[in-house]
Amino acid sequence: MKKLEFQNHVFNLENFENVYNSSTYEYNLSRYKKLIEKFTNYYKTEKSDFYKINFFSAPGRTEICGNHTDHNNGRVLCGSIQNDIICAAVKTNNNFITIKSDNYDPIKIDLDKLEAYKIPSTSLGLVAGVCYYLKSKGYDIGGFEAYTTSNLPGGSGLSSSAAFEALIFTILNYFYNDSKIDLVTGAKASQYAENNFYMKPCGLMDQLGSIYGGLITIDFENLDNPRIEKIQFDFEKNGYALCIVNIGQSHSDLTDDYANVRNDMSAISKHFGKTVLREISADMLFEEIPNLRENDRAIIRAYHYLNENKRVENLFGAFKNQDINKIIEIIKSSGYSSFNYLQNVYSNSNCKEQPASLGLYLAQMMLEEDGAWRIHGGGFGGTIQCIVPLEKLEIFEKTMKKIFGNSSVINIYIRNIGACRI
């Protein structure tokens, strides 16, 4: 067990070694030491009260396959990563939640007035929304004071908002519910907050990816009880690095583009009298193409969805068989479909700005047949994901950093534990 010493007090970090790769121990311990300094300075904590402080972590997530499938009851394959939001927090005896985050103004939530915080695109809405959902389901909520810091770049496709929601759930679950609330409920609370308080449409993948932990496949056919299976796989042991390239364009102001993906898919399912695309087949869609031509984009987005579901199933099998060549082939195919059919690599509102398209071209040029490249997550900016042979990693990083900046390439590692108390 890792221990953190601060002003002659020793904090036991029980989950630290389960969360972080040994090569990052020193770096992450320094993050927690800086965090406790900031917490105690900001809240003017007396040494006699240090024992009340708890540490929490909520990871970002990386989507491996299943691009824009979760919101139509589809299949996805994703993983929690070691980049995370970390937090120091203490339980309080009042009905307020106070949170200070690096580089942001503090927020304060009155738990008796939760509906007053339905404020689009604000952290207030995310916190209040998680609280509102848990309270509506009969769980306990209460006050706490927290300080957070993160190495998840906002608007980068690594789901920093989902990680923040997962963090709030994990704190409330530990402080007020003895950590007895199941993880799917926590993910639903997080999604509810984003949909109904933050006012951003999203499926459930991001939240499950952060809360659940590990490399997982999720089948959303039954939204009340999604089927989740873990997979053990190490990219580096198979000769590859899993990389995210932050291409320097935030996707945080592109809510309409995301909504249009879902709207296009919904238009097709409604044509068949169905709720979601999961309920139709490729043959049904083909027969109706002549009657759907008012929106060609909706047709090809629907085809992306149907084929992407099959890719996730096949990729899960490839991971179980440890077949790296098949894994690369399927991930590359997913990226091709997103670019050409889902069309979420750049926004039509600004066609001249296409850093993701440029990044994908550069990745293809460097990796050729030896790796994979795809838009990552929601798309329309944010990041691209690349599977890079270790022997090409140096030139890959050098080239991408030259174009997109010195901090653009993030080597990510799957972590086996999701949002948790450290």
C-alpha 91/C-alpha 399 separation (Å) is 47
Q: What is the pLDDT of residues 331-364, one digit of tens each?
A: 999 999 999 999 999 988 888 899 999 999 999 9
Which is nearest to 93 in space by CA: 136, 139, 141, 142? 142
Could you tell me if 314 and 223 lie in one domain?
A: no
Identify the CATH number of the domain in which residue 373 sits: 3.30.70.890
pLDDT band at 103 (very low <50, low <70, confident <90, very high): confident
Whole-number mean pLDDT of the chain?
Answer: 94
DSSP label of 149: E
3-state secondary structure 207-235: HHHHHHCCEEEEECCCCCCCEEEEECCCC
- What CA–CA distances, in Å, run from 410 to 91, 153, 332? 34, 10, 19
By the 8 A CB rule, do 86 and 55 touch? yes
By the 8 A CB rule, do 271 and 289 touch? no
By the 8 A CB rule, do 159 and 165 touch? no
Position 302 pLDDT exceeds 60 = yes
Query: What is the pLDDT, as a whole number, of residue 348?
Result: 86
Q: What is the pLDDT of residues 163-207, one digit of tens each?
A: 999 999 999 999 999 999 999 999 999 999 999 999 887 778 899
pLDDT band at 34 (very low <50, low <70, confident <90, very high): very high
Residue found under tokens 């102001």: 253
Query: What is the pLDDT, as a whole number, of residue 159?
Result: 80
Could you tell me if 136 and 203 lie in one domain?
A: yes
By the 8 A CB rule, do 231 and 85 touch? no
List the domain range (segments joined by +) for residue 405: 236-411
The number of domains in the chain is: 2
Query: What is the pLDDT, as a whole number, of residue 369?
Result: 85
By the 8 A CB rule, do 170 and 58 touch? yes
Give Cα 23 to chain centroid, integer Å: 23
DSSP label of 178: T
Query: What is the pLDDT, as a whole number, of residue 251?
Result: 52
Query: What is the pLDDT, as a whole number, of residue 335?
Result: 97
- Give the dihedral of Cα atoms 130, 132, 136, 139; nearest 10 deg: 60
Query: What is the pLDDT, as a whole number, of residue 250?
Result: 59
Could you tell me if 367 and 337 lie in one domain?
A: yes
C-alpha 139/C-alpha 169 separation (Å) is 11
**Could you tell me what percent of the chain has a pLDDT over 90?**
84
Radius of gyration of the chain (CA): 21
Position 252 pLDDT exceeds 60 = no
Helix (H, G, I), strand (E, B) or coil at 357: helix
Exposure string over 243-270, b if 16+ CB within 10 A, otherwise e: bbbbbbbebeebbebbebbbebbbbbbe
- What CA–CA distances, in Å, run from 326 to 64, 145, 236, 336? 13, 48, 16, 15
Query: What is the pLDDT, as a whole number, of residue 202?
Result: 77
Position 253 pLDDT exceeds 70 = no
Residue found under tokens 């140096």: 394
Query: What is the pLDDT, as a whole number, of residue 249?
Result: 67
Q: How buried is residue 206: exposed, middle or buried, by Cβ count under 10 Å (0-12/13-18/19+)?
A: buried
- What CA–CA distances, in Å, run from 89 to 43, 59, 86? 10, 17, 10
Residues in the chain: 422
Pair type for strands 144-150 and 96-101: parallel
Could you tell me if 347 and 245 lie in one domain?
A: yes
Average pLDDT over residues 156-164: 83
Query: What is the pLDDT, as a whole number, of residue 254?
Result: 72
Could you tell me if 199 and 81 lie in one domain?
A: yes
Could you tell me if 226 and 244 lie in one domain?
A: no
Could you tell me if 276 and 241 lie in one domain?
A: yes
Question: ∠224-227-232 over CA atoms, to 5°?
Answer: 145
Could you tell me if 241 and 224 lie in one domain?
A: no
Read off the pTM. 0.88
Could you tell me if 184 and 65 lie in one domain?
A: yes
Structure tokens at 265: 């898919």
Structure tokens at 228: 């989740």
Average pLDDT over residues 66-81: 94
DSSP label of 162: H
Which is nearest to 128 in space by CA: 137, 118, 138, 142? 118
By the 8 A CB rule, do 328 and 371 touch? yes
Residue found under tokens 């904090």: 11
Could you tell me if 73 and 210 lie in one domain?
A: yes
Identify the CATH number of the domain in which residue 167 sits: 3.30.230.10
Could you tell me if 256 and 160 lie in one domain?
A: no
Average pLDDT over residues 280-305: 98
Could you tell me if 6 and 103 lie in one domain?
A: yes
